[in-house]
Each structure stands twice: as C-alpha cells, then as structure tokens.
Structure 1
Amino acid sequence: MSKTFLDEEISELSIEELLDNSNLPGPRANLELLHQFMYFGTPEQVESIQNSHEEFGVMCGVARTCMLKRDRLQELVIELKNYANHSSWRVREAVCIGLQEVAKGIGTPPVLDAIKRWSNGNDFEKRAFVATLCEPALLKDSQTNMKILDALGEITSGFESVTSKLDVGQTSLRKALGYCWSVAIVYEPEYGKELFEKMIKNMLYKSDNKHVLWIIKENLKKKRLIKLDAQWVENMSQLL
C-alpha cells in the first residue's frame, strides 16, 4: 500500500520514495501523489525524476512542468509535444492532466489557442488536443465550446478515408473521440447536437465509414447524453 504524504512533504521526497509509492506496476497509478507533485515538486526534483526514465517519474515531471511553465504556454507546448507522442499511454495522459490543471487556473481559451496546432498534427497529438479540452471543468464558455466542437468534427472526418486496420495512434484517437463528443455536447447542447446530427447524416449518405460509425455509436451509449436528451438519442440511434 502506498504511503500518504502531506503537501509540504512532497518537495522533500527522494526519487526512490516517489517511485516506491507510485502503485506501479499495477492497474492504476497513484494519481493523488501525481497531483501533489504537480503543485509542490521542485525544479530539481523534476530534472532528476525525468532523467530516471521511470514511467511514474516521467508522468510527475510532465505534470509539474505544466505548472512551472504555465505562464509560458508556447514554450510549454513545444516541450510537451514529445510527451504527447510518448510510447507510454500514462505519460500521454499526464500531458492532458497537466494542461487541464493549467486551464483551470488561467482559463480554457489560452490553452485552446496554444494547442490548436495539435488538432492538425499526428494522431497522438490530435488525441491530446481532444482529451485535454473535453473536460467538464473546462467547458464553461459557449464560444470556446463551439470551437472545440468544430475541431472534433474536423478531427473525426479524418477517419472517413481510413479503411484499413487502425494503428496505435489511430486507435488511441478513436477511443478518445468515442466519449469526448458526448462531453462537449452536454456543455453546448444546441450547437453540439446539430453538429453531431450532420455528422451522422454525412456518414450515412456519403462516407459510410465503420470507424466514424463506431465513434457515433459509442457516444450515443453515454449516460450523460441520454440524461441530456433521451428522445434525441433515440432519434439518432434510429437513423443508424
């Protein structure tokens, strides 16, 4: 069992203590400890722990770097790009966790603007863009929400030409799109439902792509959408 630390103790932890309490290997990393380190880790710890190349260490270093460089977003995003493409899904997720925490502090629009380039990047970068921004705590502004929904539409349309078996990046992105649409729609219902319905009709009458169909069906299963508008979900399901 991992040890519980006070916030003020985090800056005194050795790399060994941090890693020993990571809960890894295991099904779930110690996210409470990661969040503590994200706020209380020192720059010296970040450098040492990332140099260890241990998965949890890299996660903590990524998350803390986000907070240390939150006032230098362009520099931060350049640095995070490699981690958004990391071979470890946990490290890729740490990028999203860190950026979400930054957005909670400075607002979603600056973070959206800073990572917009990722929406046109490779599949891992698109996944980082989608998973970072489709977070309930960040979807507070209607104009920003609509921009995120537009980006979801553009990213999803990229699957229309994909007919072969998905690679790791495509699989990761498709999985994110399979729930992120429902999150964004709940916080911008009128615009979101209209955009989603257009995507369904386009898929039915033009592309008929199995990956787009999967994304649509996965979102229509989500309880948050059914709670929002059960009749609309039923109508969309019947179209399929």
Structure 2
Amino acid sequence: MTQVELHRDALRALPAEEVPAYLTARSGLPGPRSNLELLTAFGDVAPAGLILDLAASPDEYLRACGTAAVGRLLVESPADTALTALLHARAADPSWRVREAAAMALQRVGDVDGAALRLLVQAWAHDPHPLVRRAAIAGVCEPRLLRDPATAAAALAACRAATDSVEALPADARRDPDVRTLRQALGYCWSVAVAGDPTAGLRAFAALERSPDPDTAWVVRENRKKARLVRLLPA
C-alpha cells in the first residue's frame, strides 16, 4: 500500500475536526520538503466544506492542502464560478507553497477534463497578474497532461503568451518579484511544452531563440539546460 493510500484510509476514519491536526503533525514542515503524498490524499477524500475551510486557513500547509483539493471540487462542479475565483486568488497567494498547490489543482482538473483545463489556462495565461500567468503555465506544463494533443498545443500557446507578457513590460517593471517568479517558471516550462509536442514545439522554440529580448534570451538558455529539450535539439 502506498503512502497516499495509507493517508486516505487514515483521513477517512477521522472526524473532520481532527483532520487539521493530523495534517499539521505529518506536514513535514518545518523542513526541506512538505508532505505532498498527504496533500494528495487529502484532496482525494476530504469533504467539500473542509476543503473550503482549509483553503482559507492562515496556516501555510493547511491552506496548500485546501487549495490543491479545490481542483477536485472544480471537477465535480465545473460551473461553480466561486471555486474558480478562489483558485485564481490562491494562484497569487503570498506563499509559494500555496501557489504551487494552485497549479496542482489545475492539474487535477486536467486529469479528468482536458477541455476545462484548457479554458482556464487560456484565460489565466493572459491575466493581468504575473503570478496567475505563472500558475497557468506551471499547471498545464505537466508531462502526463501533454499526452493529449490539444492540451500540448495549449501549453505552447500559454508559454508564448506568458513570454510575450514579459517582453511587453518596461525594464523597471521586470524587476518586480512576481514577474521574476513568472520568468523563473518560463525557464523550465518551455522545455516541458516543447517535449509534449516536439514538431510544433521546436518551431516555437526556434522563434523564441530569435527574440532580441534579454529576458527571453535567459529563458532560452535555462531551457536549453534541460535534458528533455537537449534530447530534441539538433546536435
């Protein structure tokens, strides 16, 4: 039995009011790595009310657990705009762990409903907030999701839109920490997107390499270091 399965069983057996203490005691924090298996298990089995409560928690790990689990609620209630708004807000959370959980929530959606993921990613890749744009590319640039050709195309389009958004900024605005976080994500997401659709991806990456923009040049250099892209580039 895997750790995720063990945690699922334990969480199912607990009264809802005892779940936060269980999560906190096994969070792995403080430490170098939070317990992602536990976070995943919570998202699999937690009741909706508890998910929403934790997504608003002041505690970073509990808020991350709740945020990632919102993806399951969106799958169950795709027309619930309040859930989409909540996830959008968490995509720009001050905590990087919570922002990563928002991207994981998008991936939960994509595992079940690729079309719904693509709609969210298309909108978020053009969002005014750089951290929301970052969530869009981090969410869709997941290898398991890019086996679907339509989602692979959406990943390339999102990376291009997010890159264009950085290129459109004046130099002083690019020093904003949130913009730097977006650039950091572009530094690996492009390689994932290209690997998801090498034929279209290599054409898109070749166009990226022709850009005179210094931040785009940095993005190109970072992606060229990734083994998944090195394998695809001409010798």
Q: What is the TM-score when the length of structure 1 is the normalising length?
A: 0.85
Whose Rg is larger? 1
Separation in structure 1 between the aligned mates of residue 153 and residue 53 of structure 2, nearest angstrom: 41
Match of 1:199 among 185, 208, 213: 208
Match of 2:193 among 165, 168, 184: 184
Separation in structure 1 between the aligned mates of residue 57 and residue 163 of structure 2, nearest angstrom: 37
Tell me what 2:120 maps to: 114
The worse-fitting range, judged by mean Cα deviation, of 33-42 and 75-84 is 75-84
Tell me what 1:238 maps to: none
What secondary structure sits across from 1:87 in the alignment? coil
Separation in structure 2 between the aligned mates of residue 173 and residue 162 of structure 1, nearest angstrom: 15
Tell me what 1:56 maps to: 61
**Is 1:31 aligned to residue 31 of structure 2?**
no
Amino acid at match of 1:8: D
Match of 1:219 among 214, 217, 223: 223
Q: Deviating runs (4+, > 3 A) in structure 1?
A: 3-6, 47-52
Amino acid at match of 1:211: D
What secondary structure sits across from 1:228 in the alignment? coil
Separation in structure 2 between the aligned mates of residue 115 and residue 189 of structure 1, nearest angstrom: 20
**Structure 1 alignment gaps of length 5 or more:** 232-240
What secondary structure sits across from 1:199 in the alignment? helix
Tell me what 1:163 maps to: 171
Tell me what 1:140 maps to: 147
Judge conservation of contact 1:73–1:111 (CA < 8 Å) in 2.
no
Tell me what 1:127 maps to: 134
Specify whether residues 177 and 37 from structure 1 end up closer, same or farther in structure 2 by C-alpha distance, changes over 3 A only.
same
What does residue range 53-132 of structure 1 map to in structure 2 within 5 Å? 53-74=58-79, 75=81, 76-106=83-113, 108-121=114-127, 122-132=129-139
What secondary structure sits across from 1:99 in the alignment? helix
Tell me what 1:42 maps to: 47
Separation in structure 1 between the aligned mates of residue 154 and residue 69 of structure 2, nearest angstrom: 28
Specify whether residues 8 and 220 from structure 1 end up closer, same or farther in structure 2 by C-alpha distance, changes over 3 A only.
same
Fraction of identical pairs, as percent = 31
**Is 1:18 aligned to residue 23 of structure 2?**
yes
Amino acid at match of 2:44: Y
What secondary structure sits across from 2:75 in the alignment? coil
Tell me by how many angstroms 1:166 deviates: 1.9
Tell me what 2:159 maps to: 152
Separation in structure 2 between the aligned mates of residue 101 and residue 57 of structure 1, nearest angstrom: 18
Amino acid at match of 2:107: Q
Amino acid at match of 2:85: I
- What root-mean-square deviation, in Å, do the aligned CA atoms of Structure 1 and Structure 2 show? 2.0
Tell me by how many angstroms 1:45 deviates: 2.8
Separation in structure 2 between the aligned mates of residue 177 and residue 104 of structure 1, nearest angstrom: 22
**Structure 2 alignment gaps of length 5 or more:** none
Q: What is the TM-score when the length of structure 2 is the normalising length?
A: 0.87
Tell me what 1:236 maps to: none
Specify whether residues 50 and 195 from structure 1 end up closer, same or farther in structure 2 by C-alpha distance, changes over 3 A only.
closer
Tell me by how many angstroms 1:48 deviates: 4.2
Separation in structure 2 between the aligned mates of residue 228 and residue 68 of structure 1, nearest angstrom: 37
Specify whether residues 51 and 185 from structure 1 end up closer, same or farther in structure 2 by C-alpha distance, changes over 3 A only.
closer
Separation in structure 2 between the aligned mates of residue 14 and residue 149 of structure 1, nearest angstrom: 39
